[in-house]
Structure 1
């Protein structure tokens, strides 16, 4: 007589991205492999089903992690998931230190702050999410899986961002980062989530305007003599002033500065503004380097050595061409600021950390 195969129990895990911008990309990549990781790390006898979803485009900021957990708990119950994990790019705090993750066994949900994981976020969530699912099912006394064979404090060895875990007695676990290195990791993670490359591509008209200004400046031997007369210190100051003015102009002209209000606490607003400033600084610095490289090449092609030597009244070499490109690039950033005013508003606002555009081409399963 043939042996009747025992039906494997099914456990549905929901992955929710809040907001559905950068976190949705992480959710999509994690969902593709999470079932296999859960079978390997938690229980191979279970049929793991992973569902993707998204939260609010503009999530509440005033309630901290509790607001996310409450919303996620209702979403988990409505969708009839067994457990749910929320990945968010909101910076979260607890006990005045960055919060990496929060686990609520009562509501069978957990939230993970992607910025608190630092730069290697996908690798960290790959390590953390199976453990969080295992802990949720164990604390909920779900007999479909074997109890977790590790203590919550062991997360500190699995995920570098986690310094300590508190709240084991109440089954409301908070995974906290280090007060110092955790803040550094949080800021770097915010910049990573804000994608400076997207801001760089969004400032294409700025770069075109800067190249136009540089082309006019290359034809002026007055600029050649000015660059020769200025020393390295003053050229550095001019460069820094130009970049600072450009970043300031972008923030003011496109209203990228986050102001504290009832929905945004002062601490969160400061973090958002810091993330925006660093993102724009990186994008404009790379733009400056591209402009400098292009100006050096253009100067080498258009200005003959004999012409430059006659203007400067001395022998010239590569350093003189680099110096010429340096001052022209610094001055051309002002022209780039004019070009930035022609950018599409949504394209520039994408550099603001607190701004999340309406998602397109990616539908929530509850709307499918």
Structure 2
């Protein structure tokens, strides 16, 4: 470090991820670049130091954002940080609308709800955090930052997720809230993004293999051929949707993925957790169904000769008949896969439950490429 750098005032910014799973991945990506972003957007004459940390595996849910801010303030004081920012995947609310972020000048901390940012959470967090830090320094009139560097933060302009700002000047609190409809839609998509449906899809690999085996066997029976020919598109669609719904319901019941309201989990939060779990499993099972359907089409074309199919159906056939056959076979095999899904690894399937989180060591092992599948 040069002599001139020693002369520059230092401001330490703590970046805490709670729980240490998806938020920790975002924090890890931001830590390496946040100092330069703060120098560019807040004050280049300050020596910015960014510290990364983990929060609670199961952060308190009963008091919402206030509990997070209190815990973060204690962490900031213990670690002697100047300001602290919390990244969380908890869906937070204020005035019955999604809360994107909240700053507390009194506590010199801020919280950022990743699900409220929608799909592009890393990019949105990268844009918001320097402004949140700037807001905290502005409210506390920190003399280490020049007045130009303490210009009012621009979070609402930089984040489309923010609909309006609710300010409590006396308490030094500033809430950035989303709109009621678009904000809720963005929150749900953000929850699915944070829940990592790709991990749930990998967790259903045994189910997919079993369903594919069931489909391959069903293709050899001419009764299935005749059923596919007799059923119309509407009834085939209903069978498909019922099969997917049965699979999602069975996974939730068999692996106890349903979040129940309690004194620690308010009813509204439990409802959001369950909706996030359902959407994650629905997306994972829908992708599994597409993979199963494509595989069944290929097997059907290779296994069933056109002349044999024409003889059974007693009419000329084309490629659409193979698609129809794969459609009904995949739907019925999905129901069979739902019954066998209880054989899936418990930890792997529970990763789809939005309210479930592993111990920090699980995230560390996964980061090193030795995933245990937990959330």
Under TM normalisation by the shorter chain, which class is it?
over 0.9
Runs of 4+ in 1 over 6 A off after TM superposition: none
CA–CA separation in structure 1 for the residues paired with 2:347 and 2:194? 17
Asked whether the 8 Å contact 2:137–2:150 carries over to 1, the reply is no
Gaps of 5+ in 1: 364-368
Task: State the match for 1:51 in structure 2.
Answer: 51
Task: State the match for 1:64 in structure 2.
Answer: 64
Q: After the TM superposition, which of the residue ranges 159-168 and 97-106 deviates more from structure 2?
A: 159-168
Deviation at 1:323, TM superposition (A): 0.4
Asked whether the 8 Å contact 1:206–1:338 carries over to 2, the reply is no
TM-score (norm 2): 0.93
1:341 match: secondary structure: helix
Asked whether the 8 Å contact 2:134–2:152 carries over to 1, the reply is no
Asked whether the 8 Å contact 1:209–1:338 carries over to 2, the reply is no
Deviation at 1:151, TM superposition (A): 3.4
- Alpha-carbon displacement from aligned partner over 1:228-281 (angstroms, at most 9, x marks no partner): 111111111100111111110000000111111100001001100110001000
Task: State the match for 2:364 in structure 1.
Answer: 362
CA–CA separation in structure 2 for the residues paired with 1:80 and 1:28? 20
Task: State the match for 1:114 in structure 2.
Answer: 114
CA–CA separation in structure 2 for the residues paired with 1:303 and 1:270? 47
Task: State the match for 1:194 in structure 2.
Answer: 195
2:258 match: secondary structure: coil
Deviation at 1:101, TM superposition (A): 0.5
Deviation at 1:10, TM superposition (A): 1.2
Aligned length: 359
1:308 aligns with 2:309: yes
Asked whether the 8 Å contact 1:208–1:339 carries over to 2, the reply is no
- Alpha-carbon displacement from aligned partner over 1:21-48 (angstroms, at most 9, x marks no partner): 1000000001111001001001111111
Task: State the match for 1:101 in structure 2.
Answer: 101
CA–CA separation in structure 2 for the residues paired with 1:168 and 1:268? 25
1:27 match: secondary structure: helix
- Alpha-carbon displacement from aligned partner over 1:202-237 (angstroms, at most 9, x marks no partner): 110110110111011011011111111111111111
- Alpha-carbon displacement from aligned partner over 1:64-99 (angstroms, at most 9, x marks no partner): 100000000000000011110000000111111111
Gaps of 5+ in 2: 366-375
Asked whether the 8 Å contact 1:99–1:175 carries over to 2, the reply is yes
Asked whether the 8 Å contact 1:14–1:53 carries over to 2, the reply is yes
Deviation at 1:167, TM superposition (A): 1.6
2:87 match: secondary structure: strand
Task: State the match for 1:208 in structure 2.
Answer: 209
